[in-house]
Amino acid sequence: MKNKFHIITFGCEMNKSDSERIAAVLQQMGMDPVSSPQEADLIILNSCVVRQSAQDRIYGQVKNFNKLKKQNPGLVIVVTGCLPGADKGAKLKNKMPGLDLYFPIAELVNLPAMLKERGLGLQDARLSGRDYLDILPRNQSKFHAFIVVNTGCDQYCSYCIVPHARGRLRHRPVKQIFHEIEKAASGGAVSLTLLGQIVNNYHAPDPENFLRSNPFSNHFAKLLWEINQIPKIKRIFWTAPHPVYMDDEVIQALTFSKQVNYLHLPVQSGSNRILKKMNRGYSRENFIKIIEKVKKARPGIALGTDIIVGFPGETEQDFDRTMSLYEKVGFDIAYPAMYSSRPHTASVRAYVDDIPGSEKKRRWQEFDKLMREITFEKNKKFLNQKAEVLVEEYKRGICWGRSNEMKSVSFASSRNLTGKIQNVIIKAPKLWMLEAELA
């Protein structure tokens, strides 16, 4: 039987986590991963639809892989992830002739049966009827694990397609989360990234499984406190929280010893008028107060955010408010995006996408310039400072990893230190890399 697969992942860490579950299912079926699509009997595209550009890349990939079918007529091409989830009535599937399977990630449990019908796999994974999040992922990293705490979203920001792609908010049981963490830790994981569309809006369906000694009432803070008690876990990061759910207990959790010294808190805009149109649920002033509390709880914490420029109706004054907020907060990094209208969202129904592409690009470039200036100034402060680095890669005598502030760090080493946490001294801070030497 044919048994070689290749997975290509688009989008966020949640999609990367989903791909690890896909790989686990395929390996349970006796299939082997290969590094190139040319070697594969099965190609799976795990899709993203947050922006039109990501969606267009899927169309292009399917078109390219159809050419491989001429050399390998039995090749099976699959698209899963957010695109099928958001594609009500499978209308977009028609844009991808030659596609063999097309399903949202929640239907992953049905994949073994679908593949067996096509002669793929050596054995049945027997997942029918289960929740796909029950599947233990095949972690790509030996020292790091993605842990999903909730999926889907009920927030309905006006620009966001995620609730339509992933459905309503669902929380995983505490017991299941800790089972997965324990498996990861026993396999060598020292670092965790907790994931959710709004990760800090976690409500345990089984709160009785929290420890009685747990001092917190907020379920997400409870979860973080208990993960901090696991000896093998050394570093914890979580993404992406929502400002509305950054209450005092969640902010206090930022002070836990294993918490990275970094918070990624999406603001999207600095204009109250645009925030209201986005249905974000907070004001510029609310956001600044949250950041002030965060900085007071953990002085020196590095901060990141997401920004959308060119939202429908955004004036130059609105854009200036975003720029001034970014400067006032003093973020270390941002991930700016030009607004892209997405199907099914409230902003498509309610607003005209009236900002020309050229103007969106100009604003993006202006914001990017400001971000780079502030990022470099922030990084220069690390000169001759100590940093803890979790080494993620080793090539040609150079270790690369991330500091406790989630900044990229490189240093020379005669040994492969991948998976180890090392103390270094920063010797040459650059824009996107802090060059260091072992302490």
Same structural domain for residues 298 and 155?
Answer: yes
Top pLDDT among 142 and 125 is at 142
| DSSP-assigned states of every residue in 165-230 | HH-S-EE--HHHHHHHHHHHHHTT--EEEEE-TTTT----S-GGGS-TT----SHHHHHHHHHTT-
Q: Round the average pLDDT of the chain to a whole number and report it.
A: 96
Higher pLDDT, 127 or 328: 328
Listed in sequence order, the residues at least 6 apart from 362 whose beta carbon sits closer than 8 Å to its beta carbon are none
Q: Is there a single domain that holds both residue 124 and residue 163?
A: no
Q: Do 395 and 256 share a structural domain?
A: no
Place of tokens 């009685």: 212
Last residue of a domain, one of 76, 111, 132: 132
pLDDT at 1 > cutoff 60: no
Give the residue with greater pLDDT, 258 vs 3.
Answer: 258
Complete edge-to-edge strand list for the sheet that includes strand 144-148: 144-148, 191-195, 235-239
Residue 326's pLDDT is 98
Among candidate residues 357, 380, 403, the one where a domain is terminated: 380
The pLDDT confidence band at residue 327, using thresholds 50, 70 and 90, is: very high
Output the six-digit token pair for 11. Answer: 């989008």
Residue 147: give its domain's CATH number.
Answer: 3.80.30.20
What's the token pair of residue 261? 């010294």
Is the same domain home to 404 and 257? no
Which structure tokens are listed for 23? 């790989």
Identify the three-state secondary structure at position 417: coil
pLDDT of the residue at 215: 98
Same domain assignment for residues 211 and 308? yes
Q: Could you tell me if 323 and 228 lie in one domain?
A: yes
141 and 46 part of one domain: no
In a shared domain, residues 32 and 89: yes
For the chain, the C-alpha Rg in angstroms (whole number) is 22
Give the model's pLDDT for residue 439. Answer: 93
Q: Do 290 and 371 have their domain in common?
A: yes
Q: What is the CATH number of the domain that holds 411?
A: 2.40.50.140
Q: What is the CATH number of the domain that holds 10?
A: 3.40.50.12160
Structure-model confidence comparison of residues 73 and 338, the more confident one: 338
CA distance to 52, 138, 312, 376, per residue, from 338 (Å): 11, 34, 11, 23
- Of 63, 98, 132, which residue constitutes the final position of a domain? 132
Question: Tell me: the pLDDT tens digits for 379-428?
Answer: 999 999 999 999 999 999 999 999 999 999 999 999 999 999 999 999 99
What angle is formed at CA 250 by the lines to CA 292 and CA 420, rounded to 5 degrees? Answer: 100
Indicate if 144 and 232 belong to the same structural domain: yes
Predicted pLDDT of residue 257: 97
Handedness of CA 64, 66, 67, 73 (dihedral sign): positive
* pLDDT tens column, 19-70: 999 999 999 999 999 999 999 999 999 999 999 999 999 999 999 999 999 8
Global pTM value? 0.96
* pLDDT tens-place string over residues 132-158: 999 999 999 999 999 999 999 999 999
* Amino acid identity, position 390: L
pLDDT class of 127 with cuts at 50, 70, 90? confident
CA angle in degrees (0–180, nearest 5) for 90-96-99: 90
pLDDT band at 122 (very low <50, low <70, confident <90, very high): confident
Q: For 163-188, what is each residue's pLDDT tens digit?
A: 999 999 999 999 999 999 999 999 99
Domain check: are 149 and 113 in the same one? Answer: no
For residues 215 and 296, state if they share a domain. Answer: yes
Q: What is the pLDDT of residues 212-231, one digit of tens each?
A: 999 999 999 999 999 999 99
The residue range of the domain holding 427 is: 386-438
Angle formed at CA 203 by CA 197 and CA 205, multiple of 5 degrees: 120
pLDDT at 97 over 60: yes
Domain count, the chain: 3
